[in-house]
Homo-oligomer: A and B are copies of this chain.
Amino acid sequence: MKNPQLNKNGELQHLLGIDGLPKSIINHILDTASSFVSIGERELKKVPLMHGKSVFNLFFENSTRTRTTFEIAAKRLSADVINLNIAASSASKGESLLDTIDNLAAMHADMFVVRHATSGAPFLLAQHLNDTKQHHVHVVNAGDGRHEHPTQGLLDMYTIRHYKKDFSNLTVAIVGDVLHSRVARSDIHALTTLGAAEVRVIGPRTLLPGGLEQMGVRVFTNMNEGLKGVDVVIMLRLQNERMNGALLPSTQEYFKQYGLTPERLALAKPDAIVMHPGPMNRGVEIDSAVADGPQAVILSQVTFGIAVRMAVMSIVSGSNA
């Protein structure tokens, strides 16, 4: 099936995932974002690019943090933002998802920012909107199941490019619960597309999915080995719900084997940067000395994240069917 995120001219009409996104489009988003970074620092933080447009935050899965970043990005583009907690809404009244979507589209929505617990839900919505010729609505995936979290992947690339300039010489390690991480999946696709020299994944075997090698990734279960000589360390959040299950013995045990401490970080290159998508579990996947240390660029990720989301929203809303 054709990826519905690109229109017939190859322009970005929806952002559904980084998988399948050409390098040129990723670079266009990152270049556009860099013009927005400075806006955040001005007294007047708004541009009129989406003035009069209606952005709907459709969060079928609750995430205040991510919703907030999209809300700020949209408001700084001068759009009107409507927040819908769909979980608590019509879905519970027995209406089908597509009926809900058609209804909102009929209100002349311009954009749906979609977070959903089911992998592929934003893809399904975009496909439906295209099939029914509701081309005025653009879908941005804000995280779907274990599939992708493309704006997080893009802001991670922005951050790496900001600190390291060129991808072609970089070794990047992604550490932790890769199995359940849509961030990891988006990062891997982005890094391989942008031509990173080496992408590594580090984690316990129970938290690593199959098929990583086919994605062009080197797999490590020993953290000390995996960190050797890397330029970038991307730590993943360990979700609490994993800890008491069969997948992990305990958080203390996890920290002992995969927590990023200053000693472990010393195995990476001296100028290696440390990233984390947040929210952090200090003392579980990351030591506070690292989280607050000079190599951490975690808060820069947040700042760049607003600019990247502004770039994505303005690019897709400017495209045609």
Cα–Cα distance between A80 and B281 once the two chains are bound (Å): 30
Q: Are A299 and B106 in contact (CB under 8 A)?
A: yes
Q: Are B82 and A72 in contact (CB under 8 A)?
A: yes
Q: Interface with B: A84-92, A172-180, A218-226, which one?
A: A84-92
Q: Interface with B: A15-23, A48-56, A145-153, A186-194, which one?
A: A48-56
For residue A108, CB closer than 8 A to chain B, the reply is yes
Q: Are B306 and A93 in contact (CB under 8 A)?
A: no
For residue A231, CB closer than 8 A to chain B, the reply is no
List, in ascending order, chain B residues with CB within 8 A of A90's CB.
Answer: 64-65, 279
Q: Interface with B: A97-105, A198-206, A262-270, which one?
A: A97-105
Q: Are A82 and B68 in contact (CB under 8 A)?
A: yes
List, in ascending order, chain B residues with CB within 8 A of A280's CB.
Answer: 95, 99
Q: Are A68 and B107 in contact (CB under 8 A)?
A: yes
A52 partner, pick from B46, B51, B303, beta carbons under 8 A = B46
Q: How far is the CB of A36 from chain B (nearest CB, A)?
A: 11
Count of interface residues, chain A, beta-carbon cutoff 8 Å = 54
For residue A244, CB closer than 8 A to chain B, the reply is no
Cα–Cα distance between A284 and B96 once the two chains are bound (Å): 13
Cα–Cα distance between A52 and B93 once the two chains are bound (Å): 35
For residue A75, CB closer than 8 A to chain B, the reply is yes
Nearest residue (CB) in B for A284 is B94
Cα–Cα distance between A46 and B79 once the two chains are bound (Å): 11
Q: How far is the CB of A288 from chain B (nearest CB, A)?
A: 9
Q: How far is the CB of A131 from chain B (nearest CB, A)?
A: 12
For residue A45, CB closer than 8 A to chain B, the reply is yes
For residue A71, CB closer than 8 A to chain B, the reply is yes
For residue A302, CB closer than 8 A to chain B, the reply is yes
Q: How far is the CB of A37 from chain B (nearest CB, A)?
A: 10
For residue A40, CB closer than 8 A to chain B, the reply is yes
A103 partner, pick from B42, B86, B94, B299, beta carbons under 8 A = B299
Task: Give 17 pairs: A residue, B residue, CB < 8 Å, sorted on A.
Answer: A41-B108, A43-B52, A45-B53, A46-B51, A54-B75, A54-B76, A68-B104, A68-B107, A94-B281, A95-B280, A99-B282, A100-B279, A103-B302, A106-B299, A106-B303, A107-B302, A108-B306
User: Would you list the 8 A-B pairs with minimal beta carbon distance, nearest first?
Assistant: A95-B279, A64-B89, A44-B52, A106-B302, A40-B108, A106-B299, A75-B80, A46-B52
Chain A residues engaging chain B, CB cutoff 8 angstroms: 40-46, 51-54, 62, 64-65, 68-69, 71-72, 75-76, 80, 82, 84-86, 88-90, 93-96, 99-100, 102-108, 240, 278-282, 284, 299-300, 302-303, 305-306
